[in-house]
Amino acid sequence: MSQQMIETLVSIAPESGKEVMQLTMEHSAQAETLFLGPSGASIRAFARDQKTAEKHEVDAVRHAEGILYADMDMDATIEGKQYHDVVGSYQRLDIFDLKVNTTRRVPVKLFEGDA
């Protein structure tokens, strides 16, 4: 997060919490943006200069705000998907079974007296 963004956020914070908020944001671990290929190795990516829009190659976005782009070969992910379902739907029909009860049910039952 840029120093300018930290100052903007601190300026709208309650007076009693400004110092703690600023120290916390300035000393917190920063996120990193990167792309990984099917083998787990980093994929060479690129970013664009915000002023000139010029494209330049980078490994990752670190300690800065920005957008990272990468050209990815989606066919390279097929082999890995055959061994492990990377999207989490686990379409193993030999293990999982889906059954749907289509019987019509009455959604509300009205009655008088104690429940």
Instruction: Kindly give the confidence (pLDDT) of every residue in the chain, 115 residues in length, as a single tens digit, with 9 standing for 90 and above.
Output: 788 989 999 999 999 999 999 999 988 887 888 988 877 888 889 998 888 989 999 888 887 788 899 988 878 776 666 666 656 666 666 777 778 999 998 888 888 887 6
Domain assignment present for residue 115? The answer is no
9 with 24, same domain: the answer is: yes
Q: Which domain holds residue 5?
A: 1-30
- Structurally, how many domains does the chain consist of? 2
The C-alpha angle 89, 94, 95, rounded to 5 degrees, equals 60
Distance of CA 97 to the CA centre of its chain: 30
Distances (CA, A) of 53 to 35, 57, 67: 21, 13, 12
Domain assignment present for residue 54? The answer is yes
46 with 2, same domain: the answer is: no
Which structure tokens are listed for 57? 């190659």
pTM of the full predicted structure? 0.47
Domain assignment present for residue 86? The answer is yes
Domain assignment present for residue 63? The answer is yes
